[in-house]
Amino acid sequence: MFRLLVLYLAYLAYLLSPAISSERQQHHLQHGLCSYTFILPEVEHCHPSNDFQVTNTLQRDSPPEVSPDTGQSKLGKAQKERPSWQEKKLESLESAMENNTQWLQKLENFIQENVRSGMEEMKRTAVHTQTAAMLEMGTNLLSQSAEQTRKLTDVETQVLNQTSRLEIQLLEYSLFTNQLEKHILQQTQEISRLSDKNSFLEQRLLALETQYGRELQGLESEKQQLQELVERQSQLVSRLQGELGSSTLNSTLLQSQQAVLTDTVQQLLARVNKCDEISNVPKREPLSFRDCAEILQSGVTESGIYIIRLPNSTHTVKVFCDMKTQGGGWTVLQHRRNGSLDFHRGWRDYKVGFGEPSGEHWLGNDNIHKLTTSQEYSLHIQLKDSEGNEAFSQYDHFYIDGEDNNYSLHAERFSGTAGRTSSLTHTGTEFSTKDRDNDRCTCKCAQLASGGWWFEACGPSNLNGIYYPSSSSVVRYNGIKWYYWKGPNFMATMTTMMVRPANF
User: What secondary structure does DSSP assign to 58-124, as a single string?
Assistant: TTSSSPPP--HHHHHHHHHHHHHHHHHHHHHHHHHHHHHHHHHHHHHHHHHHHHHHHHHHHHHHHHH
Least Cα distance to 245 among 288, 285, 283 occurs for 288
Please say whether the beta carbons of 318 and 238 come within 8 A.
Answer: yes
DSSP, residue by residue, 279-333: PPPPP-PPP--SSHHHHHHTT--S-EEEEEE-TT-S-EEEEEEE-SGGGS-EEEE
pLDDT of residue 59: 42
Alpha carbon 502 to its chain centroid, in Å, reads 63
Give the three-class secondary structure for 135. Answer: helix
Least Cα distance to 430 among 454, 414, 411 occurs for 454
pLDDT of residue 248: 61
Q: How far apart are CA 248 and CA 230, in angstroms?
A: 25
pLDDT of residue 423: 92
pLDDT of residue 277: 43
Give the H/E segment covering residue 201: helix 68-274
Q: How far apart are CA 499 and CA 396, in angstroms?
A: 10
Least Cα distance to 395 among 382, 377, 414 occurs for 414
Residue 93 burial by Cβ neighbours in a 10 Å radius (0-12, 13-18, 19+): middle
Adjacent-strand bridge partners of 412: 397
Q: In 29-67, where does DSSP find H-type helix? A: none
pLDDT of residue 203: 82
What's the predicted TM-score (pTM) here? 0.47
Give the three-class secondary structure for 463. Answer: coil
Give Cβ neighbours of residue 56 (< 8 Å, ≥ 6 apart).
42, 43, 44, 64
Q: Going residue by residue through the chain (504 aa), what tens digit of pLDDT does each one get?
A: 555 555 656 666 555 555 444 445 566 666 666 776 766 555 554 554 454 444 444 444 444 454 445 555 555 555 555 556 777 778 888 888 888 788 888 887 887 777 777 777 777 787 788 788 888 888 888 888 888 888 888 888 888 888 888 888 888 888 888 888 888 888 888 888 887 887 788 888 888 878 877 777 777 777 777 777 777 777 777 677 666 666 666 565 655 566 566 667 666 766 666 664 434 444 444 567 889 999 999 999 999 999 999 887 788 899 999 999 999 999 999 999 999 999 999 999 999 999 999 999 999 999 999 999 999 999 999 999 888 899 999 999 999 999 999 999 999 999 999 988 999 999 999 999 999 999 888 888 888 888 999 998 888 999 999 998 876 666 677 889 999 998 877 778 899 999 999 998
Long-range contacts: 260-267, Cβ < 8 Å, 24+? none
What is the CB-side half-sphere exposure of residue 214 using CA atoms within 13 A? 5
Strands 481-482 and 461-462: antiparallel
Please say whether the beta carbons of 500 and 291 come within 8 A.
Answer: yes
The CA-based angle 479-482-483, given to 5 degrees, is 100
pLDDT of residue 32: 66
pLDDT of residue 278: 39
Least Cα distance to 238 among 333, 374, 358 occurs for 358
Q: How far apart are CA 402 and CA 311, in angstroms?
A: 15
